[in-house]
């Protein structure tokens, strides 16, 4: 029997594994073994629990193990290997975000135009939700919720991040917040939405042109990650 670390990976290297692919493969593996249907169902439901809450996954496995027809040891090991690979995948993604945030911070005060300057100048396309003479709101290219809109000042004026705000910025800061409310109204999420400003590398800020994230259209969780 192979140790979990040596079990075959469905696709290429660690970074190309899609959690969806792993879930699908595990389901197929179990569903082809018709005579072990009972075991398969127990395993899939244990895995579903594992997906939703790591805290209860151990309990789910204990229950399966102590049932009259326990899940076979190889399937148990296979599920554990999936769990550890999913953790690895999450860790890689998180580290990538943190690394690019550190990199962006290093050139934050260079004064160089950011990607948002190009969007404001309409040099690169974006899906604009709201615009006036001082503020632009456009959809995030990598949405974290059904509604995810970025609200930015058209003129950066030293506002690379909120932490650089000065008294003279109070008016534009108010306008940005008011624009966030207009966006929420236009997007039909006034009953529940979140406004986020990531400030600096430890908050994973990646673009050094002040921007508000307006998020909504799903149930938000607290505390945020
Ligand atoms: P931050 O991480 O700095 O708080 O947020 C920057 C946001 O800008 C990210 O959510 C990222 O997806 C978004 N973003 C980066 N480049 C582009 C782009 O070219 N177009 C759009 N629409 N959003 C972008």
Mean pLDDT by 10 residues, the chain (225 residues): 41 36 39 44 41 36 39 49 54 74 87 95 98 98 98 98 98 98 98 98 98 98 93
- Confidence (pLDDT) at 203: 98
Rounded to the nearest angstrom, the distance between the alpha carbon of 50 and the centre of ligand 1 is 31
Question: First and final CA of the chain: distance in angstroms?
Answer: 38
Q: What is the CA radius of gyration of the chain?
A: 23
Pocket test for ligand 1, best of 99, 117, 129, 142 (most atoms within 8 A of CB): 142
The edge-to-edge listing of strands for the beta sheet with 135-139 is 128-131, 135-139, 147-153, 212-216, 193-196
Q: Which atom of ligand 1 is nearest to the CA of 148?
A: 10
Measuring from each residue's beta carbon to the nearest atom of ligand 1, which residues come in under 6 Å? Answer: 115, 119, 126, 138-142, 150, 198, 204-207
Tokens for 196? 């986020």
Contact 51, 22 (CB under 8 A): no
**33 - beta bridge partners?**
none
- Confidence (pLDDT) at 110: 87
Domain 115-216 has CATH 3.40.190.10: no
- Confidence (pLDDT) at 95: 72
Rounded to the nearest angstrom, the distance between the alpha carbon of 222 and the centre of ligand 1 is 22
**For 70, which DSSP code?**
P
Q: Which atom of ligand 1 is nearest to the CA of 196?
A: 4
Give pTM, 2 decimals.
0.66
Report the candidate in 81, 45, 38, 85 with the shortest Cα–Cα distance to residue 61: 45
- Confidence (pLDDT) at 78: 52
Rounded to the nearest angstrom, the distance between the alpha carbon of 66 and the centre of ligand 1 is 48
Rounded to the nearest angstrom, the distance between the alpha carbon of 26 and the centre of ligand 1 is 34
* Matching residue, tokens 């160089």: 112
- Confidence (pLDDT) at 220: 97
**For 18, which DSSP code?**
-
Residue closest via CA to ligand 1's atom 21 equals 141
Q: Please identify every residue annotated as catalytic.
A: 211
């Amino acid at each position: 029997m192979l140790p979990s670390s040596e079990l075959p990976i469905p696709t290429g290297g660690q970074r190309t594994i899609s959690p969806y692919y792993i879930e699908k493969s595990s389901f197929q593996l179990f569903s082809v073994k018709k005579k072990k249907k009972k075991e398969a169902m127990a395993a899939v439901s244990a895995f579903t629990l594992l997906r939703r809450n790591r805290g209860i996954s151990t309990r789910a496995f204990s229950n399966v193990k102590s049932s009259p027809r326990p899940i076979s040891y190889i399937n148990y090991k296979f599920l554990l290997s999936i769990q550890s690979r999913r953790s690895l995948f999450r860790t890689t993604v998180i580290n990538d975000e943190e690394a690019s945030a550190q990199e962006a911070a290093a050139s934050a005060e260079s004064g160089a135009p950011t990607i948002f300057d190009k969007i404001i100048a309409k040099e690169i396309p974006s899906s604009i939700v709201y615009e006036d003479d001082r503020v632009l709101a456009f959809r995030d290219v990598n949405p974290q919720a059904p509604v995810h809109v970025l609200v930015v000042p058209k003129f950066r004026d030293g506002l690379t991040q909120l932490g650089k705000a000065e008294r003279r910025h109070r008016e534009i800061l108010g306008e940005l917040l008011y624009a966030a409310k207009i966006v929420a109204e236009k997007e039909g999420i006034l009953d529940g939405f979140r406004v986020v400003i990531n400030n600096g590398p430890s908050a994973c800020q990646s673009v050094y042109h002040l921007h508000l994230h307006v998020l909504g259209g799903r149930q938000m969780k607290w505390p945020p990650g």
